[in-house]
Structure 1
Amino acid sequence: MAYRGSVRPFTKFNAKQDAELLHKAMKGMGTDEDAILMLLAARSNDQRQQIKAEYKKAYGKDLVSALKSEIGGLFECLIVALMTPPILYDATQLHKAIKGAGTNDEVLIEILASRTGEQIKEIAKVYKKEFGSKLEKDVCDDTSGNYQRLLVILLQGSREEKVDEGKIEKDAKDLYAAGEGKFGTDEETFITIFGNRSAAHLRKVFDVYRKLCGSDIEDSIKGETIGNLENLLLAVVKCARSVPEYFAESLYRSMRRAGTDDDALMRIMVSRSEVDMLDIRACFKKTYGQSLYTSVQEDTSGDYQKALLYLCGGND
């Protein structure tokens, strides 16, 4: 597998030297934001953790706290996000989504629909350790109905790994019978199939489904369900088809609202920078006819913009 992230581990890496450079950038009058940005955006998350450890050893204080006292605004939020280990970052985002005023369902849906089973299990572990409560319980306290049930299935992180040839036809027929083929919708069938089958299996089911009823599964979901359940089912379908396409669309939406949804923009750019940003970038260009780089440039400014452009990994 070729590496598809836009941020790679820095080759001539020296954590101690980087810690010194950051210390210099924050010492004395004024802060050298460019130095902070260039250095941290060009290191992998693992390397940033090593720099953090070296910084504490050399200067007796926490690097993240030091950075926070020197920079502000969106740039600060982005740098703090880059300094957080990926699994902890996801756990923190989920905690914020559930524990804030109201529930940020967009975050719940995005993370639980797009992460692998292994990642979800890790996130749940870190969540418990960090916040002292169970992720599943907190999600259940904040959600209800069939939407809640599908979230709980996804939270188990135990999706099947393989394609079960014997079930493809049956799954497609069951989905048809549960939705288009009856008056009212049997959401349970959708939840069970979408929550448990592998992405590769679901793609085959969607193909058979299309042949069966002449329309895409997405159309049925839109016609048969509403609200959060609809959004979650659609996210599961999109991620089964292509995770990079799903994120390209989410990024496009984050920048095409009245005012930019910086939370979403930052969350996706940070969490995908070492995973599949190169593929997301390619999907973005193909679908919207403009490079992700140019879109970010038009929608952001200052040091925040510079750091995000760095995470793009170049201009298509």
Structure 2
Amino acid sequence: MAGRGTVKTSANFNSSADADVLHKAMKGLGTDEDAILELLTARSNAQRQEIKAAYKTLFGKDLVDDLKGELGGKFETLIVGLMSSPLAYDVKCLRDAIKGAGTDEKVLVEILASRTCQQVKEIVAAYRQEYDNDLEEDICGDTGGHFKRLLVILLQANRQRGVEQAHIESDVQVLFKAGEEKFGTDEQAFVTILGNRSAEHLRKVFDAYMKMTGYEMEESINRETSGNLKTLLLAVVKCARSVPAYFAETLYYAMKGAGTDDNTLVRVMVSRSEVDMLDIRAEFRRMFAGSLHNMIKGDTGGDYRKALLLICGGDDA
């Protein structure tokens, strides 16, 4: 899905000139936040990495450290997120989710359910390199039960390729017997099938399951499971159906109701800005009868809002 991001590579790019603009924006009294946010949201991640290198060469200082020194709050979190490479960003988000006080299961669910097998393999390798620790061990130390088992399966990144026609019917039978048909639930069956089949295969299974039982897979999971396992199973199912729709829903619930879940809002806007933000916007409009742009506008303020709206890249009202 290349080219479905809202943040594009800038033409006529000059990393030294950009580094100079940023340096001037932070020099002297007061900071020119507009200059910073307008420049950084108009460059691709690869270009931001070049700007970072040019800044160090020109000024002998670390650009991210300088930005942290000048900016604050949610705006700082967003800008610093944009300055990380996508892989480093995922790795840091996972590390923070595990290493903080208590575990932020939401982050584990969101990243491991939505990334491709190749991306998960890269995350595991980069995590080991960065922290000299095994991501699987760290996650196992912080989680339990079937929730932990499904996370471990997702970390193996060994999903079957394509559609196994011969297994569709048997998968449906196993899931039906594990849930709707019996008193109590055999969670392991859900964990094994949803963790190991390809998205294309799972979509066929969900259709056949609906035909046979009259229930959407999500309805059965909602009824048959609970807690973190339910959240993770639902995320896996939704991502198999449509990753952009999953993120549209994630963004909606991050902003709906009292108080905004800014950590989730920043994480999704940063990590999807060059991947599928256009599709996320379209799904958001379809699912919630309003635009992502307008919801961000109503739920945030200041430079933080300006930067988020630039990443959002347009209104679909």
Give the equivalent residue in structure 2 for 1:191. 191
The one-letter code of the counterpart of 2:288 is: Y
* RMSD across aligned positions (CA): 0.8
C-alpha distance in structure 2 between counterparts of 1:255 and 1:300, whole Å = 9
The one-letter code of the counterpart of 2:264 is: A
C-alpha distance in structure 2 between counterparts of 1:181 and 1:304, whole Å = 50
Deviation by residue 1:71-96 (Cα, 9 ceiling, x = unmatched): 11111111000000101101111111
Deviation by residue 1:37-73 (Cα, 9 ceiling, x = unmatched): 0000110111000000000001001000011111111
Q: What stretches of structure 2 of length at least 5 have no aligned partner?
A: none
The one-letter code of the counterpart of 1:228 is: N
Give the equivalent residue in structure 1 for 2:173. 173
The one-letter code of the counterpart of 1:38 is: E
Deviates more, 1:237-246 or 1:181-190: 181-190
Give the equivalent residue in structure 1 for 2:256. 256
Deviation by residue 1:167-226 (Cα, 9 ceiling, x = unmatched): 111111111111111121111111111001000100000000011111111111111111
Give 4+ residue runs of structure 1 displaced > 3 Å after superposition. Answer: none
C-alpha distance in structure 1 between counterparts of 2:108 and 2:152, whole Å = 11
Give the equivalent residue in structure 1 for 2:226. 226
Give the equivalent residue in structure 2 for 1:16. 16
C-alpha distance in structure 2 between counterparts of 1:273 and 1:257, whole Å = 24
Give the TM-score normalised by the residue count of structure 2: 0.98
C-alpha distance in structure 2 between counterparts of 1:27 and 1:222, whole Å = 54
C-alpha distance in structure 2 between counterparts of 1:67 and 1:205, whole Å = 48
C-alpha distance in structure 1 between counterparts of 2:214 and 2:3, whole Å = 37
Give yes or no for the alignment of 1:43 onto 2:43.
yes
Q: How does 1:243-282 map to 2 (within 5 A)?
A: 243-282=243-282
1:2 Cα offset (Å): 5.4
1:257 Cα offset (Å): 3.0
Alignment: residue pair count: 316
C-alpha distance in structure 2 between counterparts of 1:114 and 1:71, whole Å = 31
Give the equivalent residue in structure 2 for 1:238. 238
1:148 Cα offset (Å): 0.4
Q: Contact conserved, 2:203 with 2:241, CA < 8 A, in 1?
A: yes
Give the equivalent residue in structure 1 for 2:27. 27
Deviation by residue 1:79-131 (Cα, 9 ceiling, x = unmatched): 00000010110111111111111111111100000000110111111111112
C-alpha distance in structure 2 between counterparts of 1:239 and 1:84, whole Å = 24
C-alpha distance in structure 2 between counterparts of 1:259 and 1:152, whole Å = 32
1:3 Cα offset (Å): 1.2
Q: Contact conserved, 2:175 with 2:189, CA < 8 A, in 1?
A: yes
Give the equivalent residue in structure 1 for 2:110. 110
Give the equivalent residue in structure 1 for 2:314. 314
C-alpha distance in structure 2 between counterparts of 1:250 and 1:95, whole Å = 21
Q: What stretches of structure 1 of length at least 5 have no aligned partner?
A: none
Give yes or no for the alignment of 1:65 onto 2:38.
no
